[in-house]
Structure 1
Amino acid sequence: MLQGTSPADSRADLENRTEEIRAHMMDNLGLHINKYPHLARRIRHAPEVQGLWYLRGDMMGMLAAEHGETEARVKVASLTRMFQGLLPRSLKSRPSPLGD
């Protein structure tokens, strides 16, 4: 916990950041929401930030199908940065041995 913050402040910050991530994911779904209702539903109903983290692969698949892999990688990288400081160490992305 940050010095000078209460557990309630930390919880509120986590909830706010989780909702920002959820909104970002829904924005990326954008005009394709009717084509991917199952993904939209899973994003809306993910109970916590870890659930949204695990949906990045589904987002990558949808974005690659709709916009191409290059654009999808850029968008998912931007999304991944939003999770910084919110996840346990065991859930953080590791650099690929294949490079970018």
Structure 2
Amino acid sequence: MRWNKPNLRNSLHDLLGRDKPSSTAWVRDQGLEDIRRAMLLCLAGASGCEVARMNMRLRYAGDIEALWYLRGDLFTTLLPLRGKAHAQDALDRITPLFQGQLPRSLRAPLLQHARL
């Protein structure tokens, strides 16, 4: 007797090495993509080696925690390009998007991390 009946979806997920989708995965992924999009928009119109590197890091960040820790690097990238006021404003707009998305260990100091 088989415990796990194979079907096309399970086979594709196994081949791609991805976890099976859960009922809340779409919501979680949508929040992740909204934050990623907002962070990438901060780099819009800028060019250069550091901007390209930051763009790649944001695009390939695998989870919400990775994006959370990339905020500081985004600030550092924006600083010489647009100035401290603009970089801080960008961070202030992005930080609230993480509300309710982070694991418990990162949630408590959310307001303390808002300003770098």
CA contact (8 A) 1:24 1:79 kept: yes
Question: Which SS does the other structure have where 2:112 is aligned?
Answer: coil
Judged with a 3 Å threshold, the aligned counterparts in structure 2 of structure 1 residues 33 and 24 are, in CA distance, closer, same or farther, namely farther
Q: TM-score, normalised by structure 1?
A: 0.79
Residue in 2 aligned with 1:16?
A: 30
* Deviant stretches of 4+, over 3 Å: none
User: SS state of the match for residue 79, structure 2?
Assistant: helix
Aligned equivalents of 1:79, 1:66: Cα separation in 2: 18
Tell me whether 1:95 sits opposite 2:112 in the alignment: yes
Q: What percent identity do the matched residue pairs reach?
A: 30
Give the C-alpha shift of residue 33 in structure 1: 4.3
Count residues in correspondence.
Answer: 91
1-structure distance, mates of 2:111, 2:36: 22
Tell me, in whole angstroms, the C-alpha distance in 2 between the residues paired with 1:88 and 1:94: 15
Matched with 2:77 is 62
- Give the match for residue 41 of structure 1: 56
For 2:57 and 2:25, locate their aligned partners in 1 and report how far apart those are by CA, in whole Å.
22
Distance 2:47 2:55 in 1: 6
The match for 1:80 among 86, 90, 95 is 95
When the two chains are superposed, the root-mean-square deviation of aligned CA atoms in Å is 2.0
SS at match of 2:43: helix
Distance 2:68 2:47 in 1: 19
Alignment TM-score, normalising by the size of structure 2: 0.69
